[in-house]
Amino acid sequence: MILKDLSKVGRPIEKCIIIDNIADNFLLQRDNGIFIRSWYDDPYDTELKDLIPLLKQIVLLQIPDVRKTLKDYRDQMSRMIAEGTLGYSPDKDQIV
């Protein structure tokens, strides 16, 4: 396990995101993390590509603190998984 510590990056923590396939790696700044499935041995992996709408909105809307947005994202994903409605809207270039 590689425990990642955003305080060592030298940038405002509210502007940093950790994207990792091991949730324990962002335990120190859990609110800054996005957990993705492992991509090893998966030639069809699209995990990072699937995050483009979220990351693009964070930049375009100049989100002052990514932690709130990431919490909302995680909550939305959990709801959609529970409802069986998880999907993306390419027309809107955002998560639906």
DSSP letter for each residue of 8-65: GTTS-GGG--EEES-GGGGSTTGGGEEE----TT-TT--HHHHTHHHHHHHHHTT-S-
pTM of the entire predicted model: 0.75
* Fold of the CATH domain 6-37+45-95: Rossmann fold (3.40.50)
**pLDDT recorded at residue 49:** 92
Residue 1, token pair as written in the block: 């396990």
Q: Residue 3 belongs to what H/E stretch?
A: none
Residue 80 has pLDDT above 90, yes or no: no
Over residues 55-67, the pLDDT tens digits come to 999 999 999 999 9
